[in-house]
Structure 1
Amino acid sequence: MTYRLRAARLTDLEHLYEMAKLTGGGFTNLPPDRAALSSKLERATEAFANVTDELIDEQFVLVLENLQTKKVVGTCQLMTKVGQQWPFYSYRLNTLTQYSKELDRTVRAELLSLVTDLEGSSEVGGLFLHPNERAGGLGLLLARSRYLFVAMHRNRFADRILAELRGIIDERGGSPFWDGVAGRFFGMSFQDADYFNAINGNQFIADLMPKHPVYVSMLSDDAKSVIGVPHPTGRAAMRMLENEGFHYDGYVDIFDAGPSMVARTDDVTSVKNSKQAIVADINLSEGERAILATGQLQTFRACYGACKFNDDGTIAIDAVAADALDVSEGDTVWSVAR
């Protein structure tokens, strides 16, 4: 079967809603709420229609489509400039060192400080692949096609980019970190707070959250043990991010303490290694496996394909990929080796 990533449309709402119900909670960018998802799609439609080449607060939504069945089986999102509609809060894990001359003793304490350091960054997120489709490298296609989109629209994205990974959620759908920290102040469950955040934003954190640093040693063992630890389903995503040049720099989510991975946008492997070329042949029989993309904004599309670069800088691609991308000889494609 052939799969293609494309710009989301308003008509994709039901597909996204059905996938959102499968996330299991803690997935802020894909809430199981039709109104919230509809708002995301409307905002994405505006972003795709905006042809000005400038960095403003926008959100792009992409979907993965099975071209044979026409079903949407995955999705991902790109946020161009976070922290503009409401503050973008994180906890920053750092160490305070103190020394007593009288006791001749040094004490080091880990602190969690509420910060907005990542405000203004771009963000990749909202990646979800239907459980029945988690094979054949489709997760990799979803993840890495986002970076081709960034490379193809570079001026629309900031110089720093981040990705938030979902933290540990227990079998009840709760968060040990939330129960040990914020839940003590808010009087609401993790599920309620997470859902409210997904729908309304996290300004309520600014209104109610204590601004003083939290001493990690004062937390329960359950809460301490999950700081900076991704959900088991996100470990592969973390490895993919690390392969792209992202790293964990001590920032964690304020709800579940999942790690926030950061990178310089131009240093992201799939951005840095992406190539642009004119198509010279659409009937390549054998070549290097790659992710191929074409189009701009609402006409963006990407898929797996075989390609081969010619000495004159043009590119040959296989017929299946050419059909999926709807390109002919003379058109432009971007590529990054798989």
Structure 2
Amino acid sequence: MSFRLRAAHSDDLEPLYEMAKLTGGGFTNLPPDRDALGKKLQRAADAFGRDDDTLGDDQFVLVLENAETGDVRGTCQLFTQVGQQWPFYSYRLNTLTQYSKELDRTVRAEMLSLVTDLEGASEVGGLFLHPNERAGGLGLLLARSRYLFIAMHRARFAEKILAELRGIIDDRGGSPFWDNVAGRFFGMSFQDADYFNSINGNQFIADLMPKHPIYVEMLSDEARKVIGMPHPTGRAAMRMLENEGFAAEGYVDIFDGGPTMTARTDNVNSIAGSVKAEVSATDLEDGEKALVATGNLTTFRSTYGLRKLGDDSAIAIDAACAKTLGVKAGDTVWSVAK
């Protein structure tokens, strides 16, 4: 069974909506709301259709498709510049050190400060794989194909890139972090606030959230323990990000306290290691396992395959990969070792 990642279009609304209902909450970029998803797809269509190959305020939506049946079984998104329509807020975890000469005592206090440090960075997010397809490396195909898309359209992305991981959600669908921090000021449950944010953006945080730093020691044990911790289902995603060169630098999500990972865009391993080449043959039987992509914007496609790089900027790929991508000898592809 072959899968490929491709650019999303308006016909993908219903499969995206059905997947959104399976997320379990805390998934801002994939809300279970047809109108909101329709707007995302329209914004993506505008981004795919923009001819100016420069950095803008774009959102790209990609979907994982069964190449044999056409069924959509996963999705991911890319944002070229966060914080352009409304401020991009994070909490920054830092330490305040104070010393008393009279007591001869040093006190170090961890604090959460509301910041917009990451404004203007690109973001990879919205990754969701249907529960029935969480095997065979499809999550890795979703995640790493985004970086090939960036490499192929590098001028459209910023110098820094981030990824937000969903934080800890309890059995009730609530967030210990939200309940003990922002929830105290808003009179809204985590689910209500998260849904409102996914539909309307987080400007309401700027309107109502106190701007003073929050002392971590004043929070409950439950809230302190989840700061910077990914949801159990996101631990594999965190490892994949670390393998790409992302690092947690003290930024956490304002809603659920999940970690925000950052990297220099050109230093992301799958971007730095990507190779552009012309297809010389499509009948390779033994080669290096790789991710292979082709197309431009709306025609972008990516899948797994075998490759053999030549010395003359040429590449041979296997027949299954060529069929899934719809490429032939003479076409151009980008690839990175699996």
Q: TM-score, normalised by structure 2?
A: 1.00
In angstroms, what is the RMSD of aligned CA positions?
0.4
Q: CA deviation at 1:327?
A: 0.7
Structure 1 unpaired stretches of 5+: none
2:128 counterpart residue number: 128
Q: Give 1:292-303 correspondences, 5 Å limit.
A: 292-303=292-303
Q: Give 1:97-176 correspondences, 5 Å limit.
A: 97-176=97-176
Matched residue type, 2:39:
S
Structure 2 unpaired stretches of 5+: none
Give the whole-Å Cα distance in 2 for the aligned partners of 1:282 and 1:216. 58
Q: Deviations over 1:36-83 (max 9, x none)?
A: 000000000010001211101100000000011210000000000000
1:227 counterpart residue number: 227
- Helix, strand or coil at the partner of 1:96: strand
Give the whole-Å Cα distance in 1 for the aligned partners of 2:13 and 2:266. 33
Give the whole-Å Cα distance in 1 for the aligned partners of 2:144 and 2:126. 13
The number of residues matched between the two structures is 338
Matched residue type, 1:20:
A
1:67 counterpart residue number: 67
Deviating above 6 A after TM superposition, structure 1's stretches of 4 or more consecutive aligned residues are none
1:217 counterpart residue number: 217
Give the whole-Å Cα distance in 2 for the aligned partners of 1:157 and 1:277. 22
Q: Deviations over 1:82-135 (max 9, x none)?
A: 000000000000000000000000000000000000000000000000000000
- The answer (yes or no) to whether the contact 2:174–2:191 under 8 Å persists in 1 is yes
Give the whole-Å Cα distance in 2 for the aligned partners of 1:326 and 1:68. 13
1:185 counterpart residue number: 185
2:246 counterpart residue number: 246
- The answer (yes or no) to whether the contact 2:276–2:313 under 8 Å persists in 1 is no
1:30 counterpart residue number: 30
Give the whole-Å Cα distance in 1 for the aligned partners of 2:321 and 2:50. 28
Percent identity reads 76
- Helix, strand or coil at the partner of 2:36: helix
- The answer (yes or no) to whether the contact 2:179–2:190 under 8 Å persists in 1 is yes
- Helix, strand or coil at the partner of 1:311: coil
Matched residue type, 2:239:
R
Matched residue type, 2:304:
Y
Q: TM-score, normalised by structure 1?
A: 1.00
Q: CA deviation at 1:276?
A: 0.3
Is 2:281 the partner of 1:281?
Answer: yes
Give the whole-Å Cα distance in 1 for the aligned partners of 2:159 and 2:322. 32
Give the whole-Å Cα distance in 1 for the aligned partners of 2:51 and 2:228. 38
- Helix, strand or coil at the partner of 1:250: strand
Give the whole-Å Cα distance in 2 for the aligned partners of 1:286 and 1:277. 18
Give the whole-Å Cα distance in 2 for the aligned partners of 1:330 and 1:188. 57
Give the whole-Å Cα distance in 1 for the aligned partners of 2:116 and 2:106. 30
Is 2:247 the partner of 1:269?
Answer: no
Q: CA deviation at 1:286?
A: 1.0
Give the whole-Å Cα distance in 1 for the aligned partners of 2:280 and 2:54. 32
Q: CA deviation at 1:310?
A: 1.6
Q: Deviations over 1:261-281 (max 9, x none)?
A: 000000000000000000000
Q: CA deviation at 1:312?
A: 2.1
- Helix, strand or coil at the partner of 2:106: strand
2:317 counterpart residue number: 317
2:330 counterpart residue number: 330
Q: Give 1:27-66 correspondences, 5 Å limit.
A: 27-66=27-66
- The answer (yes or no) to whether the contact 2:82–2:120 under 8 Å persists in 1 is yes
1:76 counterpart residue number: 76
Matched residue type, 2:80:
T
Give the whole-Å Cα distance in 2 for the aligned partners of 1:282 and 1:139. 26
Give the whole-Å Cα distance in 1 for the aligned partners of 2:193 and 2:267. 35
Q: CA deviation at 1:244?
A: 0.1
Give the whole-Å Cα distance in 2 for the aligned partners of 1:285 and 1:239. 31
Matched residue type, 1:322:
A
- Helix, strand or coil at the partner of 1:151: helix
Q: Deviations over 1:180-230 (max 9, x none)?
A: 000100001000000000000000000000000000000000000000000
2:199 counterpart residue number: 199
Matched residue type, 1:227:
I
Give the whole-Å Cα distance in 2 for the aligned partners of 1:183 and 1:300. 41
Matched residue type, 1:192:
D
Q: CA deviation at 1:311?
A: 2.5
Matched residue type, 2:305:
G
- Helix, strand or coil at the partner of 1:107: strand
Q: CA deviation at 1:248?
A: 0.0
